[in-house]
Amino acid sequence: MNTKNLIPLKELSTHYEVEMSFFSQLDEYGLIEIAKVKESLYISEETVTLVEKIVRMHHELHLNFEGIDVALNLLGQIQELRQELITTQNRLRRYEDPDQSHFE
């Protein structure tokens, strides 16, 4: 397997000052996916942003893994609702704008 787009967990563990078991538990909770390549553990580059968010929640808010899971789910729902609101507002503007023709 090509490790070009993978980040070694040992580097992240050192960088974020967390134990390797922290990442194992995140994997067990289904919050991240760990790839094993030749006895080394990695995550994808796309997952790093999520890991940063999780580490901040864990360190700054002192959330456990269950709390992190709940917080991430709520943040996802908020993002979906924001997108729905934007879509609805854009539709509403079409009907409120007197310069727009309704027969386009």
pTM of the model: 0.77
Q: How far is residue 87 CA from its own chain's centroid?
A: 22
Residue 80 has pLDDT above 60, yes or no: yes
Q: What pLDDT does 98 receive? A: 65
pLDDT bracket for residue 32 (50, 70, 90): very high
Residue identified by tokens 């009907």 is 95
Residue 49 burial class via C-beta count within 10 angstroms: exposed 0-12, middle 13-18, buried 19 and up = exposed
Confidence class for position 94, pLDDT limits 50, 70, 90: confident
Rounded Cα gap, residues 62 and 9, in angstroms: 22
Mean of the per-residue pLDDT values of the chain = 90
pLDDT surpassing 60 at residue 38: yes
